[in-house]
Amino acid sequence: MLYDLAAFFSQAAAPLQQRMTWLMHYAAEQRLACYVVGGCVRDWLLARPVGDIDLVVEGDAIALAEAWTTVWPDQLHTHPPFGTATVSWLDAGALVSLDLISARRESYPQPAALPIVQFARLADDLARRDFTINCLALQLANQPTNVIDPHNGLVDLQRGLIRVLHKRSFIDDPTRILRALRFAARLEFRLEPSTAELLQQGLPWLDQTTPARLWNELGLLLSEPSAFKALSLADEWGVLQQLCGCAWPQALNHQAQCLLPNLPNEQLAISWLLLMSQLSPNAAQAQTKRFGLPKPIRQAVGQWHALATTAAMLNTTLSAGKLDRLLSPFEPLVLQVWASTQTPLVQQQIAYYLQALRPIASQLSGRDLQAQGIKPGPEYKTLLAAARERQLDQFAAENPNLC
């Protein structure tokens, strides 16, 4: 079947369309073979929204990018060791980037290490890729062309299969295990049986991979709409056990889905906290530190286990003042996520605290105490806490319908 890239780009935003029209002419003029490859071809053929566009050039992608920026006022970033360049421009306030890649061959000096790179032909470039569905290419040309499909990716795309290109794939680069999870969950694809076996054999190599490289993929996986599905699969495939010694029981999927509507921008924190809740406090801290998670999530993990020590108290009905005193040291995010794992009474008390009590400003301040002639000192804390407790108990008595 023939595919018309010109027609495809004619549906794109004007700035991208203009650049691609220029590139088609320039490539023809310079006799430079350029190909659209990887995820964007896969997504186009699946009729899914196309994200970033990757272009492979049989030749010097950096020289091409430099020619590009003589015509277009775009930002240019080059990565000479890999022969790649990124051009980016603003379109209606949003940054659009396009990667230009010199076709290359890669060899792995040792498992899980970064590869050694040599410039090569398109076929070599496709052979270094992760899965057959990701090594499809279309030549940038002004007329319809066939999909270049040296590894039978089209058939796998139709059958919904994730298949590696060779037996050592997961050992060479164990981050592909996380990529397989991401695509399986997102596209609802299955692992082809021998790939599933190879993935199992590759699991121990995750330990040899740097946390930064693992997090590159893990962070992406946890930020996708299909993150919770991916975590279930990661549990099923033994990836979570290998990666951080924990599980993702089915019940967590339900909890995570219930939390998301109230915390729509916190998917990464929700999934990480629920995952870490399966570990001991020390192990959870160690994993969070190892992957270098952002500070608010690190703090939340620290608070989670301190909060767990209050569970018995929260399972009895507390006065508004006591509830506030107990819960005020904790971040709202950690309270909400932790509550989802607790009994209805605990959930109800935390919701009451967050919605009704926490927003109330204390009537009494240190200044008031000073004005009363009390000398500043450690007892201020006790006095202010006692005053706030009384204030909130009074609030609760006056607003019984809010409890």
> Should residue 207 be labelled a site residue for Mg ion when binding is judged by CB under 5 A?
no
Count of all residues that appear for the chain in the document: 403
Number of residues that bind ligand ATP (CB under 6 A): 13
Determine the distance from the C-alpha atom of residue 222 to the mean position of all C-alpha atoms in its chain, rounded to a whole number.
Answer: 4
> Should residue 281 be labelled a site residue for ligand ATP when binding is judged by CB under 6 A?
no
Candidate list 20, 23, 36, 38; residue touching ligand ATP; CB under 6 A: 38
Residue 92: CB atoms within 10 A of its CB come to 7
Q: How far is the CB of 52 from Mg ion (least distance, A)?
A: 4
Contact letters for ligand ATP, residues 124-163 (x by CB under 6 A): -----xx---xx----------------------------
Angle, CA of 58, 61 and 65, to the nearest 5° = 140
Q: How far is the CB of 54 from ligand ATP (least distance, A)?
A: 5
Residue 393: CB atoms within 10 A of its CB come to 16
Q: Based on CB atoms, which residue is closest to ligand ATP, 19 or 179?
A: 179
* Region near Mg ion per CB under 5 A, out of 49-57, 158-166, 336-344, 379-387: 49-57
How far is 178 from 333, CA to CA, in rounded Å? 27
Residues 6+ apart with CB under 8 A from 324: 353, 357, 358, 388, 389, 392
Candidate list 2, 49, 51, 166; residue touching ligand ATP; CB under 6 A: 51
Candidate list 10, 13, 25, 52; residue touching Mg ion; CB under 5 A: 52
Q: Based on CB atoms, which residue is closest to ligand ATP, 55 or 350?
A: 55
- Contact between 351 and 332 under an 8 Å Cβ cutoff? The reply is no
Question: Rounded to 5 degrees, what are φ and ψ at 100?
Answer: -110, 125
Candidate list 52, 91, 188, 379; residue touching ligand ATP; CB under 6 A: 52
DSSP 137-169: EEE--SS-EEPB-TT-HHHHHHHTEE-BSSTTH
* Region near ligand ATP per CB under 6 A, out of 21-29, 47-55, 56-64, 333-341: 47-55
Q: 281 is in the binding site of which of ligand ATP, Mg ion, none (Cβ under 5 to 8 A by kind)?
A: none
How far is 392 from 348, CA to CA, in rounded Å? 17
Q: Based on CB atoms, which residue is closest to ligand ATP, 34 or 339?
A: 34
Is 64 buried (19+), middle (13-18) or exposed (0-12) by CB count in 10 A? Answer: buried
Contact letters for Mg ion, residues 4-43 (x by CB under 5 A): -----------------------------------x----
Handedness of CA 53, 58, 63, 68 (dihedral sign): negative
Q: Based on CB atoms, which residue is closest to ligand ATP, 54 or 58?
A: 54
How far is 52 from 244, CA to CA, in rounded Å? 30
Q: How far is the CB of 240 from ligand ATP (least distance, A)?
A: 20
Instruction: Give the full edge-to-edge strand order of the sheet including 53-57.
Output: 75-79, 84-91, 94-102, 53-57, 34-37, 137-139
Contact letters for ligand ATP, residues 173-192 (x by CB under 6 A): x-xx--x-------------
* Region near Mg ion per CB under 5 A, out of 44-52, 131-139, 150-158, 332-340: 44-52
Q: How far is the CB of 133 from ligand ATP (least distance, A)?
A: 8
Binding site for Mg ion (CB under 5 A): 39, 52
